[in-house]
Structures are given as structure tokens and as C-alpha cells.
Amino acid sequence: MILFLDFDGVLHPEFCNQGEELFCHRDKLELILRDYPQVEIVISSTWRQTRSLAELQALFSPDIGPRIVGVTPDWRDLPKLCEVIGYYPRHVEVEGWLRQANRVWERWVVLDDRDYWFRPFLPNLVWCDPTIGIDDVVERKLRLKLNQ
């Protein structure tokens, strides 16, 4: 199972300051992920554009960071896939990573706050309210997906 992870609007409210709110839900996500040790993580957040894989891994606990196995490509580098999927940038990036990694047949889930960046009614998407991030409702939905 692969988890495609956004940061802003998921691990903290979308427009939070650099203070206490930043990554305020990281511990909650890490507790969930510890119950699913088979889940690998791919960063789909825009944070991937300004940080290396090692820097992204260092944002998490020592037992979770190494489970981050990559970052999604930029949708603008995938014009043929955009023609197939349509203008759903994050969806294109997820599909692009799956194809580049030769893992298209694996189960996957997305944790994101922008449902409009994915095809409508995508069953793999767990949506977060961007003003909150991960809450108890999101946790239940994510656990259901990870149990499938």
C-alpha cells in the first residue's frame, strides 16, 4: 500500500504560521501509520519542490521518515498523462509516480485537502478540511482505506 501525502491542509491547517501549528497533526498521522507498517509514503505536497527527499524524511520521526520512498513528479512534465486523465494536477502526479516506479497495480490512497485536483469521486482519496487537517473523521476514513 502506498500513501500519497500532502502537507498543507493535512498535517496542519492550510494557512498556518511557522509556529506551533506547523505539523500539529504529524503525531496523529504517525500513530496511524505505526498500525500499518506495510504502508510506504510518497510526498505529493508542494513541499517536495523545495526540499530533498532526505529533508522531507527528516520532518518525521525516525521510524516513519525512512518509509518515505519518493516524491511525485510535476504534472507539467507529464503532458500525455494530462491528456488521458484531464486537468487534475495532483491526480496526474500520483499516476505519473505509479507509472515511473512501475507500481501501477499496487493499492494506494491519497491524503489531501484539494479534492478538485483529482478526478471526481476518486475512491482512493481521503479528503481533509483545509482549515483543520487530519481530525478524527479523517482518521477513521484513512484507516478504512488502509484496511482494504
What rounded mean pLDDT belongs to the chain? Answer: 93
pTM of the model: 0.94
* 148, pLDDT greater than 90: no
* Distances from the Cα of 145 to the Cα of 14, 69, 100, 121, angstroms: 23, 20, 23, 14
- Contacts of residues 98-105 at CB distance under 8 Å and 24 or more positions apart, as own/partner, are 98/2, 100/73, 101/70, 103/2
Mean of pLDDT values over 54-79:
94
| pLDDT given at position 2 | 98
| pLDDT given at position 17 | 67
Report the alpha-carbon distance of residue 62 to residue 59 in Å, rounded. 9
Question: pLDDT tens digit string along 71-85?
Answer: 999 988 888 887 889
| pLDDT given at position 14 | 85
* 122, pLDDT greater than 80: yes
Higher pLDDT: 6 or 76? It is 6
Task: Tell me which DSSP letter residue 14 carries.
Answer: T
| pLDDT given at position 38 | 96
Question: 101, 107 in Cβ contact below 8 A?
Answer: no
